[in-house]
Each structure stands twice: as structure tokens, then as C-alpha cells.
Amino acid sequence: MSDLNGRIDAIADRIAGELVALRRQIHRRPELAFEETETAALVARELGKLDPGLRTGVGRTGVVGLIEGAQAGPTIGVRADMDALPIQEETGLPFASEVPGTSHACGHDAHTAIALGVARVVHELKGELKGRLKLFFQPAEETLAGAKAMLDDGALDNPRPDFVLGYHNWPALKAGTVGYLPGIVMASSDAFDITLKGKAGHGAHPHQGIDSLVGAAAFVSQLQSVVSREVAPMLPAVVTIGQLNAGTARNIIAALAAMKGSVRTLDAGVARQIEAAIRRMLDGIATSMRLKATMTWTRLAPVVSNDPRVLPRVVDAARSILGDANVSVLPGPSMGSEDFGWFMEAVPGAHLRIGSRIEGLDTAIHTSNYDCNDLAILTGVKAVARAVFGLAG
């Protein structure tokens, strides 16, 4: 395998400059969720050189490609997200966004370049591959809608992957290194929308109306007891109402109150427990305060959970090519979400964090001065390409 490592190293080092140039091209032209037409066209152009039969328009703007190995074996899926954020870039970089109010502040430009690099490496070494590489270039990760859209559009069919690999650049980690965490690494995310309907009335005669605003206030307060008094204290969970609109004027009893909330957990069972508690409390408020309640519930993303049969093989592969010192265990899971969870719910997989810190730059993903270290591209290509061979036969 040391020969394989040497060959992957050599190819990745040789194409790194091209990949950085592609990342910068994508960075200049960021596109929001489900609007990634220019990015998808660039991906199709580059990937089309390796797989002329690739599929475009998967899940609206996604691209799916396939690289066959010389011998039969498992299908390894690699997924990259392509979308940008509605953030005005303030990096001052020479390749900064040319689109006002939109930027690659989460580094998905680098993710796309990494997957194109993995495709190049695997294609060049396909004579050594026992199996095949399936590539998923996904739209709309930031809205947690793109993975589901691709899966609903049959992205996992024909051939169905046996394993899936995902990754995210991570500025808390030193560039040139990767991080991993056994088990659950990112939270599930659910969204709910509630309407409480009462009856309008003159503010001077509250008994003639039914006040939805007082009901909503009581409901928001009561929700605070879900995590503190119903969820086991060792299981992390967040319940938040982030938006509440009610009423029309100072002296009118509010007929309608509308709320938007979110739930994050590190355990699918806890998410369902919280959903049941919220439904019960909403019924209670509606009954006790004479209101009509409606709620829609949407599972935005399941947990990102590393499969114990897949992660050790991916970590071994990363260690073998990057060196033990450059592969580390993450300090803990994040309550952030990532819709790669939908892929992992369907297919056993692993998710890596790729170090992207720029020393001396005080920043974080989703901030206006974010910049992803270019070294993350080279590191990502090496680790992920090597993992593809590690998971193949």
C-alpha cells in the first residue's frame, strides 16, 4: 500500500495548483441553494472529462458521476456540497466574491474542488481500483434541503453505494490535518411552524375576544421545560422558538399568533420524544386557552453518525497517507447540522473534518471574513482518495 500512497501523493501534488484555481473560480461566482447552475456547469465540464455519462440536474442542480475501477468491488460514494451563503464577503481576497451579498463563507467551494481532485486521482489510478467511485455534487446544503432532493431524485440508485464519505473544512483544525469522531458527530435538525388562532376584539373588552398572543407567550414559556424536565440530562437537546408574530395594534386582542421553531438533538429517539412533548403542550394550551392550534413539522436533517464498520477503515486510510500525527480525534460533537446525515441514514458512511485554519486569521465559518486554507484541498484529496481505495476491495 505504500506504493499506492506514493502514487496518490504524486498525483495530488501535481494537480493541486489546478484544484486551487478551480476553487478560486467557484469562489468568485458563489451561488445560493438550488441556484448552483454555473458551479454545476463547471463540475460537469471537469468531471465530464473523466465520466462522459455523468448525470446533471439531479435534485435540481446536483451532479452525479461514476468512475469504474478495473476490477469488480464495492461502490464508494463521495459527496461534496456546492452552495454559498447570503453573506457579504469582507475578506479583501483577490478572488473574492463578485456577487454582492453572496459568498462562500462555509468553504463549499473548496469541498467541490476536493471532490473533483478525488475524481482525478481515482481516475488516474482506476487500474488499481477494485470497485467504483460514485461522486455526488450536492446543491443546497445550507438550507438542509439539497441532500434530500438528490436522494428523492434517485441519486443513490444504479449503482447504489455500499459506503458514503463526506467531509467539511474546519478552521478549528490545523491545515494539513484531519479530524474525526466515532459515533454521532453532528446534530439532527427539525423545524416546526405553529399557528394559534383566537378571536379579535377591542382591547378594552378582552373577554369578548380570545387572545392568541397570551396563549403563544404561555406556550413559549412552557416549552422551556421540555429539555430541562423531560429529556435525560446526559442527552444534549436544543428547543428554540426563534420567531413569534402576533397581533396588529396596541388596542386589539390578537386573533393570530405564528411561531417558528427548531429542535436539535444528538439522538433520533430524543427528537421524536421532543416532537411528542411539543404536540402535547400545544394541545394543552389550545384546550386551556380556547385557541385553535395547527402545526407543521419538518425533519430537516438526521444526525450525522459515523458507522463503526466504516469509520475505522477511513481513519486508517487517512493515517497511512497523512501520518498518524495529522489525524486526530475531535473534542466532541457539534449541535450544528449537516444534511449529509440523509446519505448516512441510507448508506453506512463516515464524515471527516479537514483542517482549514489560516494561522493568524481570526475567523469562523459563516462569517464575512472567512477564508479556507488552500492546503485543505490537497489534504482532503489525499485523505478521501486514499479512503476510497481503503473501502474498495
Judged by CB, which is closer to Ni ion: 87, or 231?
Answer: 87
- C-alpha grid cell for residue 251? 388596542
Given the DSSP bridges, would you call strands 237-246 and 256-265 parallel, antiparallel or unpaired?
antiparallel
Q: Kindly state the smallest distance separating residue 362's Cβ from Ni ion, in Å.
A: 19
Judged by CB, which is closer to Ni ion: 106, or 119?
Answer: 106
Nearest-angstrom CA–CA distance, 362 and 61: 33
Cβ neighbours for 188, distance < 8 A, ≥ 6 positions apart? 263, 264, 265, 266, 267, 268, 271, 299, 301, 302, 303, 337, 341
Judged by CB, which is closer to Ni ion: 116, or 293?
Answer: 116
What are the φ and ψ backbone dihedral angles of 17, each rounded to 5 degrees? -60, -40
Active-site annotation holds for 51: no
Q: Kindly state the smallest distance separating residue 106's Cβ from Ni ion, in Å.
A: 3
Residue bearing cell 434541503: 145
Range 102-141, binding Ni ion (CB under 5 A): 106
Tell me if 161 sits within 8 A of 134, measured CB to CB.
yes
Which residue minimizes CB distance to Ni ion?
106
Judged by CB, which is closer to Ni ion: 212, or 306?
Answer: 306
- C-alpha grid cell for residue 360? 493568524
Range 77-106, binding Ni ion (CB under 5 A): 106
Q: Kindly state the smallest distance separating residue 367's Cβ from Ni ion, in Å.
A: 12
Range 142-181, binding Ni ion (CB under 5 A): none
Judged by CB, which is closer to Ni ion: 106, or 115?
Answer: 106
Tell me if 110 sits within 8 A of 169, measured CB to CB.
yes
Tell me if 352 sits within 8 A of 314, measured CB to CB.
yes
Name the active-site residue from 31, 51, 83, 211. 83
Q: Kindly state the smallest distance separating residue 256's Cβ from Ni ion, in Å.
A: 35
Name the active-site residue from 51, 81, 89, 141. 141
Active-site annotation holds for 316: no
Q: Kindly state the smallest distance separating residue 42's Cβ from Ni ion, in Å.
A: 19
Catalytic residue positions, numbered: 83, 141
Which residues here bind Ni ion, judged by CB under 5 A? 106
